[in-house]
Structure 1
Amino acid sequence: MRDYIQRTPHPPPTEYITLSFYQFRPIDEADVFKIQYYFLTDLRPMDVVGRIYVSSEGINAQISCPKNRVEEFKTYYATHWPIFNKIRFNPAMSEGKAFKKLHVRAKKQLVSDGIDNSTFDLNNEPTYLTPEEWHKELSSLSEPPILIDMRNHYESAIGHFENAIRPDVTTFKENIEAMFEICKGKEDQDIYMYCTGGIRCTRSGALLKSKGFSSVKMLQGGVTAYGRYIQEQRGDAKEKADPSTSTKDAKVHSIYKGKNFTFDKRLGEPITEDVIAKCHTCGAPCDLYLNCSNMACNLLMISCPSCLQKHEGTCGSQSCVDMVKELNEKQKQIQKDHPGLIGMKARPGIKPYHEHRLRVRPLTVLEMRKNEVLS
């Protein structure tokens, strides 16, 4: 049933709005699978796509909904799911379809840190600051705050808040460990934290408060909401200014620089024009993420347009380049409307070369390859 619902062709509308939302609240184990089933059957007719995770802890979702059906979706949610009565729908900065299909999955934890929920109070939440409150409070501080980026290293590589502490971590579990180390002995100081949409900070903040930290503050709606706030402020400033004044010249100082990494096909949306990262191949200023087009490699890396073209959309490994060229030649030999290889990347279905920890550390992989050649 699940595969049928996900894979049945359905003509999609052209305009989409991307929304994220979450809520921690206890759910009976038996009800988790019922919720999974109903989301799959109810949302498909609305042409909703994306990822929805359900667990005994609650719900976490990132979806793209047809623009003309957003209110229908919100009404459905309010009518059919009153148990999730604290949901805040968090729109992306830009419109567009960020996902290809709908996935609804049952998980043990909404965000995995390996910590037993019985060891702390998940309801002991941090103080939520709206994007405006966050901006004004951090902008007014005379000394750099304890400001922790609760995202992974590859997320903060392309964008982050000024003066943020950015742990060099690959998983949320590692970031929790880093957070406790950073905050050690600072129970009476203000702790600020942020993530993409808020869920990681809600859990992290509850962990800190349960350990006796008195003042833990988080950005409500995460970087996504802050980016939208800056976008709105710049729009207001532009309207009030002289018509010849560009958005770039509007006097709005974002304390976040660069892009906000997103876990969908966009792989990021810009908040400012600052490019703070570099191409992993040639070192040119760049913040464009992509996965190596050889799916057996699938290395997540930053690649400039020049290297992207030069290496056929791959990580630059000769074996990956050769595989992609081979597939491209095969595609030229089949009919244009043939469903077989059109639009597919090289070698789908093969187990990736790299485990996850290496797949998101391209510089480490590139250095390993270099050493192999030299040896």
Structure 2
Amino acid sequence: MDPNSSKKHLINRLSPEELKERLANETFKRTTVSFYKYVIIDDPAEMRDTLYSMWDKLQCYGRIYIAGEGINAQMSVPDHFWQDFKEQLYSITDFNNIPFKIAVEDDGQSFLKLQIKVRKQIVADGLKPEEYDVTNVGKHLSADEWNTAMDEGAIVVDMRNHYESEIGYFDGAILPDAETFKEELPEVVDRLKDNKDKKILLYCTGGVRCEKTSAYLKHHGFSDVNQLLGGIIDYSRQVENEHLENKFVGKNFVFDNRMGERISDDVISHCHQCGKPCDTHTNCSNKQCNLLFIQCDSCRTEYNGCCSNDCKSYLLAPPAQKQELAKQLVFTRGKRFHKPFKSA
């Protein structure tokens, strides 16, 4: 008997087309939620299987990372199963009362399937265990406290990657020119090295990267480290519910099929192909490239959803010509980078 036969139901076996059809045929609403927690998990693989079995029965979709240091999840949960989802998750001692961040804009299309992966870290940062202590993190600030600290002149640092901050940020924030969180950490320490006694404000999408960053900064001698409670996602909710001033400009990039949630009406970025105001991210339709870039509706039509004429040529080429074209053309193969448009 196959020793893994009992676990074969713990992975998705549907094609992308079948997944899209399944989601399109649903007659109920979904809620997109994100959450994380740094906590010691003795057996991440066993926890992964437990959660998959539990959430698959509730028709949950999403992308979840489990590691010995905790959990980081972005999920889509059917509304009629929300209470079951919450009660089952909280029944696990390590995750009891874990705070949720509910999506600002939600069309129910954020995820197509359930993916739970075991990783070495819940956020790839390249840090050694002795370089941080997640029990010694910065102070968590509410939206109101955050606004006050900004008004008082605190140093604000965006702990997201450049393609995220390109479409939205807190006005006056330091925006590192980094493509990965791993690259960003040493850059931030270097840029702040002369301000170790100043009040530092950290923010990111949902808070998980700031948790690690605040511990890293405190390890490096920064004395007044603060982080936005619940990240940009929960900041927007607090601003709306408490009728506070919104200091975030533009869109919040999110790591699901939506690729962005509008926080303010400002469009601060430009189409990477023509330069028109635009803040809609997309992936190149040429799957051999898959570049993440910003594209307006006009360029999407002109380039057939591709990032360049080369990719358009490849996409539209007859199957017999694709192999030869692939030898001639250079594709990005998924890199999340595109040189921003610059006017003449």
- 2-side partners of 1:85 and 1:180: how far apart? 33
Aligned to 1:325: 316
CA contact (8 A) 1:15 1:97 kept: no
Shift in Å at residue 113 of structure 1?
1.5
> Sequence identity, in percent?
37
Question: What do the CA deviations read for 1:82-125 (whole angstroms, capped 9, x no partner)?
Answer: 11235211111123230000000000111111111133322101
- 2-side partners of 1:188 and 1:98: how far apart? 41
Query: Scaled by the length of structure 2, what TM-score is found?
Result: 0.86
Q: How many equivalent residue pairs?
A: 319
2:136 to 124, 131, 134: 124
2:90 to 74, 78, 93: 78
Instruction: Specify every segment of 5 or more residues in structure 2 that has no aligned partner in the other structure, as ranges.
Output: 1-6
Aligned to 1:238: none
Amino acid across the alignment from 1:149? D
Question: What do the CA deviations read for 1:230-266 (whole angstroms, capped 9, x no partner)?
Answer: 33356xxxxxxxxxxxxxxxxx642110000001110
Structure-2 change in CA distance of 1:189 and 1:86 (3 Å): farther
252-261 vs 199-208, which deviates more?
Answer: 252-261
Aligned to 1:162: 171
- 1-side partners of 2:241 and 2:311: how far apart? 43
- 2-side partners of 1:126 and 1:261: how far apart? 23
- 1-side partners of 2:10 and 2:215: how far apart? 39
1:298 to 290, 297, 316: 290
Aligned to 2:261: 269
Instruction: Specify every segment of 5 or more residues in structure 1 that has no aligned partner in the other structure, as ranges.
Output: 235-251, 331-346, 368-375
**What does 1:99-248 align with in structure 2 at a 5 Å threshold?**
99-138=111-150, 140-141=151-152, 143=153, 145-233=154-242
- 2-side partners of 1:279 and 1:322: how far apart? 20
Amino acid across the alignment from 1:291? N
Amino acid across the alignment from 2:201? Y
CA contact (8 A) 1:5 1:41 kept: no
CA contact (8 A) 1:299 1:360 kept: yes
Aligned to 1:243: none
Is 2:233 the partner of 1:257?
A: no
Query: Scaled by the length of structure 1, what TM-score is found?
Result: 0.80
**What does 1:55-94 align with in structure 2 at a 5 Å threshold?**
55-79=67-91, 81-85=92-96, 87-94=98-105
- 2-side partners of 1:164 and 1:119: how far apart? 25
- 2-side partners of 1:253 and 1:220: how far apart? 16
SS at match of 2:212: helix
Aligned to 1:361: 337
- 2-side partners of 1:264 and 1:194: how far apart? 19
**What does 1:298-317 align with in structure 2 at a 5 Å threshold?**
298-317=290-309
